[in-house]
Structure 1
Amino acid sequence: MPREKSIAERFDAYVEKVGGRLYKPCRRFLREALFGLVENRSVLLSQIGRALDEPRRLIHTEKRLSRNLGNERYDDAAVEQDYLSLVAPILRDERYPRPVIAVDLSDIAKPRAQKMPYLSTVHDGSKDELATGYQIVSVEAVGVRGRRLPLLSRLFSKVSPDFKSQNATTLDAVTTVQPHVPPDAFWVFDSGFDGHIFFRHFDEIGIRYAVRLKLSNDRLLRTPEGTMKVSETVELLPQPHTHRTKYHRLTLTGRKQVLQLGFVRDVHLPAYTPGGRPSKKDSGETRYSLVVARGMGLKPLVILTTEDVQTKEDAGRVVDIYLERWGVEEANRFTKQGFDLEDVRALTWTGLKRMVQLVHLAYGFLALLVHGPRKQVERIASSFKAFGPVPEYLYYRLLEGLGRLLRDSMDGGP
C-alpha cells in the first residue's frame, strides 16, 4: 500500500502542477502567496508577509510581494489552464456521475475606496443596494453528496479597458471551462443569463443547460398553446404535481421543501433580429421544456431547460439540479469570509485580478484536499476547536487548521 502523502507534500505538488510553466521567481511567489492566504486567511500583502516570517523587515517583504503581484512575466492564463487540466480528471470519476456546472456572478463592494483602478457601480448582494466595486464571474462543479470543485474565477470591471460587455465576459468564462468538463455535464444559470445571446451561444457550443427565467422579462415563448410571454405562460400553467426537494439544508427548518410543479414540453424561442426584436421565426432546432415550481417564495421558480421533461419526476430532477446551483453562492461567501476577499487593496488592475485568481487557487487546493483521503481531512478539520461533529461543508474548519501544517515546508524553495 503506497504511503499517504502529507499535506505539505500535496501542497508542493499542487504548486508545481498549477505553476509549472511559470518563471521560477513567479512560481516562488505563487507558493508564498497561497501559503500566506491559508495561514493568515487574508488577501492583504502585509498579512501574507507576516505569514512568511522572513528574517527581514516586513516592509521589504511587502514590497517584494507587491512587485511579484504585478509581475508581467507571471502568466495568469497558463496558471488558469494548468489548474483546469489538474482538476478535470476528477469530474470523470464516480463522484461526478453527471456533474452540475454552476455559473454565477458575485461582487466585491469597495464603498470607501478612492484610488483603486476601474471602480464601477455594482449591486451589493449582501445589502441589496448599489455600491462601488468590482464583479466576479465564478464557475463551480457540484457532484454527489454536495461535493464542490471550483473551476474558474475572474474579476472584471465595466469601466476597464479590456472590458467588452458582461455577456462577453461570462461567455468567455463558459467557453474556457467547457473543454475541460465531460460532454454530458449539465450547466445551470441564474436569471441574469436569460438573454437570447446566451441561448444562442450555449446552443452553438452544444451544452445541455437550465436557466432561470425572470417573470418580469417580456420574453416570448412558443408553446403548444400559442405564443405568449413568460408571465402569461406561468399564470395559465397548472401545477398539479407535488415534489419534495432533494436537499433539506435548503430550508431554515431543516426539512425538505414541498413544492407544487407544472411543466410544458416542446417550448421554442423566437429568433431575434439584429436590432434585438423577436421575429416570427424560431431561433433554431433546439426544443426546450419549461418547469414551474411554487412554494419556495412569493414568486414561482421558472426554469427553461434543454432536458426533455415528460413526467413529474423529470420536472423534479430539473428543480433539484437548479437548487444545487446555490452551492456556488455558498462558495462565494466562503472566499469572501474565509480569505477576507472584500478587503483586497491592490492598486493595479493586474494585481487585483491576480489576487482574485490566487484566492480561487487557495480554495481549489482545499477542494482537492476534500477530494483526497477523508480521514486526513477530518484530522485537520477536527483540530479546529469547535462544538459538534465535522460538518459536511467543512472548508471553514479545514482552513483554520491548515496553515500550521504547511509552516515547516516553507523554508525550502518552490
Structure 2
Amino acid sequence: MKSTEIYQAKREIINYAKKLTLGMSKPTTNFVMDMLYGLAKGRSPLLAEISRALNEDITLLGTLKRLSRNATNFHDYAKLDQNYLAAVQPQLKDDMLVIVDNSDITKPYGEKLEALGRVHDGSKCVTEKGYLTTNITVATSKTKQPLPLYSHLFSAEETDFISTNVETYRGLNRVDQLFGDKKYTVVMDRGYDANDIINFLMQKQTDFIMRLTDKRWVHYQDKAYKVPELAQRRKGKIAFDSQIKGKDYHLKISHIKVTLPAFKGRAFFMVVVYGYGEKPMKLLTNKVITSKADVLRIVKSYLTRWRIEELFRVQKQEYHLEKIRTLSLNSLQLIHRLITYLLGHHAIKIEAGLSFNEILYRKAQCLRQAVRFKFYRYIRGLAAILKFDVSGIRHFKCIEQRHAPRQLCLAI
C-alpha cells in the first residue's frame, strides 16, 4: 500500500472532522476526530473496535474508557449539526427531492440499554425491542446519492417523547430553514399517509409526493371512492420502463384529479402505477400535472425514494449499526449521528467525482464494474487503505505538551 494513499485517506477524515467541530473545544475536536477515524477504519460502532483502530500508545482499556466517557458526556449537538449543515449547504440546489423515512435499530437481546422501547422490525414484520430513527435526505444533483440532512435516534420510552410525527416535523422545519427560498419536493412512503402530515406540508406550501394506503377515501367527480376502487378504473395509458433495486419493470401509468374529504377545495392528483407488485401503486401529489412528462417526473421522483432504503442498508451492513452496545442513550444517539454524518461526507465526495474516488473503488475489489450506488465501494475502499495505517492520527491532533514544573528558588 502506498504511503501517499494512506496519508490522503487520513487527511480526508481529519479535515472533515475539523469542519464538524469548528468552534468546539480541543478535547471535543480530538474526540470527534478519533470517532470518525475509528468508524472509517474499523467499520464498526463498537467502542472497542474504534479503540483498536486508533493504534494509540496507551493501553486499549485506557482508550476505551476515554471514548466511553466522552460519548456519554457529549452535549455539543447544536454546533455539530450547524457545522454539518454548513458543509452540505453548497450541495443544495433548486427543485431537489427531499426523502423522508423512519428506520429501526433492533436490540432483541438488550436488557440494560437506556430507554429501550418496542419498535416494528420491517425486515421481519414483527415487534421487537429497539429504537426508532427519523431520517431526511436529499438526492444529489448528478449522481442521485442520498445526502443526509437530518437524522435522529429516539425512543418512545424517553421522558420528553411526544410522537413520531413531532420528530418528523422537527426534521422538516430544519429542511425548510436550510433551503430558504429554494424549492423542493418532499417524497414519502405510505407510512406518512395522514391528514396531519398533509396539513403540515400544505401550510408550508411545500410540494409533496406520497404513497397512499388502501384505507384512504378520495372524491372524484363529486363521488367518494376508496383508493383501490378508483385505481381500478384506470388501466394505465402511459408506458414506462424502469429498474428498481436492480430489477427491470415494465410499468403502466395513469393519473386522476381528486380531492380529499379533509381538504375541501384543494385539488390533488392521484397517480396509479401498474406493474410493480400484484396491486397497483397509488401516489398522491399536490404538484400540477398538465402533460405526460409531468406524470413520468412524479413517478421517477417517487422511485428515487429507494435511495434512502439503500442508505439504511449501508448503515447496517457496512457500519453494522445494529451491533451498537453502549448503555447510555446519549452515546447511542451520538454514534448514530456520526455514522450518518460520515455517510454525508462520502456522498459529497462521490458527487464531486474526485480522482481519489477511483483509487478507493479499485481497492474495494467489487465484482460488478458498473454500479449506480457507490457507497459500498467508497466505504470498503477507504477501510482497505486505512487498514495498513499503523501510526494512527495522534500526529494530527493539537495536544499541548506540559512542561516540567519549575522549582521555586529563593535567593539567600
TM-score by structure 1 length?
0.88
Match of 1:336 in 2: 316
> Per-residue displacement from partner, 1:346-380 (whole Å, max 9, x unpaired)?
11111111111011111112112212343210111
Does the 8 A contact of 1:118 with 1:159 survive in 2? yes
3-state DSSP class of the match of 2:57? coil
Match of 1:211 in 2: 210
2:171 to 166, 170, 173: 173
Structure 1 stretches of 4+ with a deviation exceeding 3 A read 5-10, 403-409
1:19 to 15, 21, 44: 21
Match of 1:276 in 2: none
Residue 177 of structure 1, CA deviation: 1.9
Give aligned-pair identity as a percent: 30
Match of 2:252 in 1: 260
Amino acid of the structure 1 residue aligned with 2:25: Y
Match of 1:279 in 2: none
Distance 1:386 1:293 in 2: 34
Q: 1:409 to 1:207 in 2, by over 3 A?
A: farther
Does the 8 A contact of 1:380 with 1:398 survive in 2? yes
Match of 2:44 in 1: 42
**Could you say which structure has the larger radius of gyration?**
2
How many residues are matched?
387
> Per-residue displacement from partner, 1:125-172 (whole Å, max 9, x unpaired)?
222222111111111111334333122211111111121001111111
Does the 8 A contact of 1:288 with 1:306 survive in 2? yes
Residue 78 of structure 1, CA deviation: 2.0
Query: What is the CA RMSD across the aligned residues, in angstroms?
Result: 2.2
Q: 1:390 to 1:263 in 2, by over 3 A?
A: closer
Q: 1:409 to 1:180 in 2, by over 3 A?
A: farther
> Per-residue displacement from partner, 1:220-272 (whole Å, max 9, x unpaired)?
3233342333233223x312313214x425453xx3x221222112x22233x
Amino acid of the structure 2 residue aligned with 1:47: E
Match of 1:223 in 2: 220
Residue 48 of structure 1, CA deviation: 0.3
Distance 2:373 2:53 in 1: 26
> Per-residue displacement from partner, 1:288-346 (whole Å, max 9, x unpaired)?
11111111001211111011123333222211110100110011000111111000111
TM-score by structure 2 length?
0.88
Q: 1:286 to 1:33 in 2, by over 3 A?
A: farther
Does the 8 A contact of 2:103 with 2:132 survive in 1? yes
Residue 111 of structure 1, CA deviation: 0.5
Residue 109 of structure 1, CA deviation: 0.9
Distance 1:144 1:241 in 2: 30
Does the 8 A contact of 1:69 with 1:354 survive in 2? yes
Question: Tell me, which stretches of 5 or more residues in structure 1 are unaligned?
Answer: 272-281
Distance 1:260 1:306 in 2: 21
1:357 to 321, 337, 355: 337
Does the 8 A contact of 1:203 with 1:286 survive in 2? no
Distance 1:347 1:409 in 2: 27
Is 2:301 aligned against 1:321?
A: yes
Distance 1:225 1:295 in 2: 29
Is 2:232 aligned against 1:240?
A: no
1:112 to 109, 112, 116: 109
> Per-residue displacement from partner, 1:208-228 (whole Å, max 9, x unpaired)?
11111101x2x3323334233
Does the 8 A contact of 1:212 with 1:304 survive in 2? yes
Q: 1:409 to 1:113 in 2, by over 3 A?
A: closer
- Pairwise mapping of residues 158-197 of structure 1 onto structure 2 (< 5 A)? 158-181=156-179, 183-197=182-196
Is 2:58 aligned against 1:56?
A: yes
Is 2:152 aligned against 1:157?
A: no
Match of 2:406 in 1: none
Is 2:84 aligned against 1:83?
A: yes
Match of 2:380 in 1: 400
1:129 to 126, 131, 152: 126
Q: 1:234 to 1:225 in 2, by over 3 A?
A: farther
Q: 1:380 to 1:251 in 2, by over 3 A?
A: closer
Amino acid of the structure 2 residue aligned with 1:131: E
Amino acid of the structure 2 residue aligned with 1:26: T
Q: 1:185 to 1:233 in 2, by over 3 A?
A: same
Match of 2:267 in 1: 287
Moved more, 140-149 or 62-71: 140-149
> Per-residue displacement from partner, 1:25-58 (whole Å, max 9, x unpaired)?
1121111101000100000000000001111211
Does the 8 A contact of 1:187 with 1:210 survive in 2? yes
Distance 2:81 2:167 in 1: 15
Does the 8 A contact of 1:261 with 1:312 survive in 2? no
Distance 1:14 1:164 in 2: 34
Match of 2:404 in 1: none
Amino acid of the structure 1 residue aligned with 2:243: H
3-state DSSP class of the match of 1:67? helix
Match of 2:405 in 1: none
Match of 1:277 in 2: none
Distance 2:275 2:154 in 1: 35
